[in-house]
Chain A
Amino acid sequence: ILNVEQSPQSLHVQEGDSTNFTCSFPSSNFYALHWYRWETAKSPEALFVMTLNGDEKKKGRISATLNTKEGYSYLYIKGSQPEDSATYLCAFRSFRVKLIFGTGTRLQVFP
C-alpha cells in the first residue's frame, strides 16, 4: 500500500512569519510529486509539479524542494500573509496517471 504522509496536520502562524511543512512519500517507482493549495470553497490549485531529485521550485513567496532518494518534499512560505491560509496537499505519482494524496496541512495565518 502506497502511503503519503504530511506534517504537521495544522499550523497557526502570525502574519509575517515564515513556515514550512513536509510531505513524505514512497522512494521507489517515483514519477512526480505534486503540491496543491486548496482554499475553502474553491478548487484545489496546482502549485508545483516536481520530477527531479534535488529540484527546487519557486512561485512568489512559496518554494518547494524534492528529495526522491529519501522520499520527502518540503514546502516553504516566506513572510506568510492571511491570503496564504489554505490546506496544502501533496500527491505522489508513480508510473500511472493516478495521484495518491496526503491528508494535507491546514495553514491559518492571523493578521
Chain B
Amino acid sequence: DAMVIQNPRYQVTQFGKPVTLSCSQTLNHNVMYWYQQKSSQAPKLLFHYYDKDFNNEADTPDNFQSRRPNTSFCFLDIRSPGLGDAAMYLCATSEGGNEQFFGPGTRLTVL
C-alpha cells in the first residue's frame, strides 16, 4: 500500500544531543510537511517542502532544521533538543495543496 512511513516510532534522546527523525513516502507527492504536536495541543506546522523549495514557519525555532534529499525522503533535525521539544512529530505529504496524508508519528522523549 502506498503510504507515509516514519522512523523510529519512539525516540529517546538526551538534553542537548542532536537527533534526526525520518519520513519516507511512496505516494510520490511533491509536498512534504513536518508538524509538532505537544500534549493536548493542536498539531503545529514547523515547515514544509514544496518540491525542493523549503518553507519555514515564522515561529519555528532555529534549533529545528529539515532536509529533503529527494522526493521520497524528508528529515527533521533537532540540533540541541531541550525538554520543551518533547512531543509527537508528524510527517505528512500532499500533491500540491490537496488532501494531506499523514504518517503515524514519532514520539520524542528528551531526558
Report the bound CA distance from A100 to B41 in whole Å. 12
Tell whether, in the assembled complex, residue A43 and residue B50 are in contact, meaning their CB atoms are under 8 Å apart.
no
Interfacial residues of chain A within 55-111, with CB under 8 A of chain B in the complex: 89, 93, 96-104
Verify if A52 is at the interface (C-beta below 8 Å from B): no
Point out the residues of chain B lying under 8 angstroms from A99, CB to CB: 45, 100
Which of B3, B50, B99 is close to A46, meaning CB atoms less than 8 Å apart? B99
Categorize the interface residue count of chain A.
20 to 34
CB distance from B87 to the nearest CB of A (A): 14
Tell whether, in the assembled complex, residue A44 and residue B90 are in contact, meaning their CB atoms are under 8 Å apart.
yes
Q: Known interface pairs A4-B42, A97-B94. Does A46 touch B48 (Cβ–Cβ under 8 Å)?
A: no
Point out the residues of chain A lying under 8 angstroms from B73, CB to CB: none
Categorize the interface residue count of chain B.
20 to 34
Verify if B31 is at the interface (C-beta below 8 Å from A): yes
Q: Known interface pairs A97-B50, A97-B94. Does A103 touch B100 (Cβ–Cβ under 8 Å)?
A: no
Tell whether, in the assembled complex, residue A97 and residue B43 are in contact, meaning their CB atoms are under 8 Å apart.
no
Q: Known interface pairs A89-B43, A101-B43. Does A43 touch B102 (Cβ–Cβ under 8 Å)?
A: yes
CB distance from B53 to the nearest CB of A (A): 11
CB distance from B99 to the nearest CB of A (A): 5
Tell whether, in the assembled complex, residue A104 and residue B101 are in contact, meaning their CB atoms are under 8 Å apart.
no
CB distance from B52 to the nearest CB of A (A): 15
Point out the residues of chain B lying under 8 angstroms from A93, CB to CB: 97
**Which B residues form the contact surface with A (CB < 8 A)?**
3-4, 31, 35, 40-45, 48, 50, 90, 94, 96-97, 99-105
Q: Provide a sorted-by-A list of 7 A–B residue pairs whose CB atoms are within 8 angstroms.
A: A41-B104, A44-B102, A46-B100, A97-B50, A101-B42, A101-B44, A104-B42
